[in-house]
Every structure is written in structure tokens, then in C-alpha cells.
Amino acid sequence: MSSMELRLDTRGDYYARNFQPSHREGSLILNMGPQHPSTHGVLRILLEIEGEYIIRADPVLGYVHRMHEKMGEVMTYPQYYPNPPRTDYLHALAWNWAHVAAVERLMGIEVPERAEYIRVITCELNRITSHLLWWGAYLLDLGAFTPIMYAFDDRERIQDILQRPTGSRLTYCYYRFGGVSADIDHRFIEDTRNHCAVMKERFKMYKSLVTDNFILRKRVEEIGEISLETCRKYGATGPVLRGSGKAYDVRRAEPYSVYDRLDFNIPVYDTCDAMGRYLVRMDEMQESIKIIEQALDTLPEGDYILPKAPKRPKPPVGDVYFALEGARGKIGFHLVSDGGKSPYRIKLRAPGYSNLSLFSEVAQGTLISDAVSILGSLDLVIPEIDR
């Protein structure tokens, strides 16, 4: 196939035609997606199956590619504010933070302490909303309808809280070079404290209703076992890595902002299965509550944004890399500046891409129904992968 034909070949058909079956007698090629409830986005997985067992699985990407990296080269730095949050719309504030922090690091901008604490509080609230949606949707994939109602109830309350300072409920664009766009008020603080207290009780109910449920455990225990070596081979991070026994979290390994002043644990399980990844996220939500409460207790007075923060920044010539811990793992923002008003190059590290890459290996020999459980345990957000 010529390069022109390849460019004209859309929606992964090139990959489909070049998918080489094993030619086992009785094997069948099956498309899972690109529009399938359990893929949580337009992800296509070409499966070769023998009966109910998977012989081979190949993810096909590109259905929602939006060229976020390339768009950064033709936008000014402030114009690019809305793009990173739309990379991963479930933990948008983490991507928003990665962008502004990379510019701040390159320009040597000192962020006021109050703004740093506000960033931690709001980012951790957003992390909880992301994990709640994962929890509800994952259980829906496995056949349980009720939990997603509870998940969205708690999630909506947090979105109500975040809406006050940010003005948004999903694709937040709240952080600015040198701080945040608006201060938090007493009502925000009170509502946050109240909801933290409510969530502590909810976690007890979640455990009795779902986590200890025999049916759930049969669908996730000893399913989708991912060894630590496999995680290293594919660059998996976040709950996927911590569910395989490695306590790596950017907030601890490469501390940024004021996380080094806060006391919290890094949940880790060495079962390496879907249950381990499930438990990591459930524990992480509780750790986020601890972080939020500590940050509220020590929230300093002062400016919420640097008074002389640049409105139209022109970072010096050079490059910078900033990493932080998102809901799905390590987010990386590599920025190259030529001294102009727009970036020369932007390269984003999306944790979901690495986490999905190991699926082909892990899915081999599993049941089709278990493949749904494995996919859900990876917590994929396809627009982050197809950035």
C-alpha cells in the first residue's frame, strides 16, 4: 500500500486488512467496538477468538484523534489553556495543571502559597470525581446498575462545589500561569468539609454494598493478572502499577507543589489482578479526602495569583518537562520554546496509552467476558489516548 493510499485509509481499515489471524481451525475474527459500551469511547479491538477464549487482541486507535499537540504550535500560551483539560475530561484539572506548571518552571514563576493549596484541593476533588465515574461505570460493565446511581450522586455534589470557583463542571480551565483564575470563599470551604464527612460514610456503604459482594469478587479476583515486569515493559503507571505491587506515585517520587508537606499514604496491592487495581482506586479516594482536609486546615491567606503574572508569556528559549500524578497515572508535559509567543513543540505523555498497550498481552487466553473486566480495570479514557 502506498503512503497516499495509507493516508486515505480511514478508521483503522488498514490495520483490519493487515491483521494476520493464527489460522487455527475454528477461530473467528471479532470486532469489539469501535462503539461498544465497555470501551468507554471509540476504541476498536480486533479479537481472534476460539470459542469463548481470546487468542489475540489488537487495539485500533485513531477514531477521535484531535491533534492537541499540533494545535499548541499555532496557539499562544494562554490560548492553549482549554486544550489540555480536554485531553482527559475526567481529570481535567491535572492536565490543566501540567500545562501551566511547565510554563511556570521554564519561566521561573513563583506561585503564591495560597494558590498552591487551592490547586491541591481542587485537583484532589477532581481526582475523586474521576474515580467515582470509573467505579460506577466499571460495575455497570460487569452487570450491576445500582452503584452508578450512588457514584453520580456523590460526583454531582463535588461538581457543584467545583463549579463555584471554576465556572465549569467537567472540562475545567481554572489554573493560570502564576496561580488560579479565582479565589475560593468560605462557602466553598464549608461545602468541601461537609462533603468530605459525607464521603467517609459513603465509603463504608460502598464496601458493604459492592467491594465485599461475592458476585463482584468472582468477576475481578485472579482476573487480568499484570506482573510488575509487564508494567515496566509497557510503562504502566498509576493504579495499574500500584495494583501490581509497586508504590510509585509522582506526588511522592517527584514531589511538586505542597504535596511534600501533607501526610498521605500510597495505596498498593500485590495481587496484580483486577481486584488489586479496584482496591487501589477505592483507597485513593479516601487518601484524597485526607489530603483535602489537611490542605483546608493549613490554607494560608494571601494572593490566589501572582500579582505580576504574565498575561502574554514568552518563555525563554529552552525545553522543560513537568510530571504529575493524574487519576490514571503519570502525566507528562514536555514543552519546547523558541522564545516566541507560541510553543515550538508540545509532547504529552498520556498514562492511558501505556496502560492500554499491555492489554494485548494480558488478554491472551482469557474469556471474552473477562476481557471486559480487564479493560474496565485499566480505567481508560480514549480521548486521552487519541490526543
Estimate to the nearest angstrom the gap between the alpha carbon of 48 and the chain centroid: 29
CA atoms within 13 A on the CB side of 194: 10
Residue 275, domain CATH:
1.10.645.10
Amino acid found at 70:
K
Query: What is d(CA 344, CA 373) in angstroms, rounded to the nearest whole number?
Result: 41
- Residue scoring higher pLDDT (1 or 252): 252
Position 11 in a domain: no
Position 13 in a domain: no
Q: Is 1 exposed, middle or buried (0-12, 13-18, 19+ CB in 10 A)?
A: exposed
Buried residues in 209-235 as b, exposed as e (16+ CB within 10 A) = bbbeeeebeebbeebbebeeebbeebb
Position 310 in a domain: yes
Position 280 in a domain: yes
Domain that holds residue 330: 68-385
Position 85 in a domain: yes
- What per-residue confidence (pLDDT) applies to 39? 75
| The pLDDT of residue 367 is above 80 | yes
Per cent of the chain over pLDDT 90 is 74
Grid cell in block for residue 85:
483539560
Query: What sign does the dihedral 210-88-116-194 (CA atoms) show?
Result: negative
Paired with 179 in beta bridges are 176, 305
Position 106 in a domain: yes
Position 24 in a domain: no
Grid cell in block for residue 354:
501505556
Position 17 in a domain: no
- What per-residue confidence (pLDDT) applies to 22? 58
Whole-model pTM: value is 0.91
Amino acid found at 384:
E
pLDDT one-digit tens code per residue, 261-271 = 999 999 999 99
- Residue scoring higher pLDDT (8 or 342): 342
Secondary-structure percent of the chain, ordered helix, strand, coil, rounded to 5: 50, 15, 35
| The pLDDT of residue 64 is above 90 | no
Specify the number of domains making up the chain. 1
- What per-residue confidence (pLDDT) applies to 31? 87
Per cent of the chain over pLDDT 70 is 94
* Torsion from C-alpha of 369, 370, 374, 377, nearest 10 degrees: 80
Query: What is d(CA 159, CA 179) in angstroms, rounded to the nearest whole number?
Result: 21
287-290 contact pairs (CB < 8 A, 24+)? 288/124, 288/125, 288/127, 288/128, 289/128, 289/196, 289/199, 289/200, 290/263, 290/264
